[in-house]
Structure 1
Amino acid sequence: MQWTSILAIYALFWVMTAFVMLPFGVKTHDEAGIEKIPGQADSAPANFQPGRHALRATFIAAILTGLYVLNYQYGWITAQDLNFFPEPPGSAETSS
């Protein structure tokens, strides 16, 4: 696998991880007991820290990319393993 492919896969994992992690660990102003600014949305986060969020996404994406590359190299899970709908009985050709 080329390093550019690994970099692209890492970027995909990073973006996916960042979006999946968005709702975790964030409190609204009402939950945190902080006064809201007039006109502020009720769902606006009070304690969002983008640097910490990016660092967590970086770490998790690195682990997921590493597992993906190792699976690509060693073939732990293949497309045939993910075939949840096997062929119906009698449809496969048999030799007599």
Structure 2
Amino acid sequence: MINVVKTLSGSLWSTLGVVVVISAIAIAVVVNGFDLRLSGGLALYFVIWWILLFAVLPFGVRSQTEAGEVVRGSEPGAPALPALREKAIWTTLVASVVLIIVAAVFPLAGL
């Protein structure tokens, strides 16, 4: 799975394509399966995605100091290779699962 994500995150366009397709599938499942309107599904997905992005960002980050190569004029604790495209795909995968779980729990909570 890790190699698939690395391959898909090879370019900006492939990353955007993966994010859009997976997001659309998750939102379609929620709208059709759990009686949520499209606007509600989009809004809920947006909030979940951004919250999870900040949870995923620190994973696998090595500072420039740890990598042994500090760029002149930058903070030594800055990430050497942040891998933001990979993290966008991981965030999308996790957010899609969380969205479906949250939509399934909404009726149980009376919402």
TM-score by length of 1: 0.71
CA RMSD in angstroms comes to: 1.4
Instruction: Give yes or no for the alignment of 1:2 onto 2:27.
Output: no
Structure with the bigger percentage of helix: 2
Aligned residues: 75
Which residue of structure 2 aligns with residue 55 of structure 1? 89
Which residue of structure 2 aligns with residue 41 of structure 1? 75
Unaligned runs of 5+ in 1: 80-96
Which residue of structure 1 aligns with residue 104 of structure 2? 70
Unaligned runs of 5+ in 2: 1-35
Could you tell me which amino acid in structure 2 is paired with residue 12 of structure 1? V
Q: Which segments of structure 1 move beyond 3 Å, counting only runs of 4 or more?
A: none
Which residue of structure 2 aligns with residue 88 of structure 1? none
Using the aligned pairs only, state the percent identity: 28
Larger radius of gyration: 1
Which residue of structure 2 aligns with residue 28 of structure 1? 63
* Greater relative CO (CA pairs within 8 A, separation 6+): 2
Shift of 1:31: 1.2
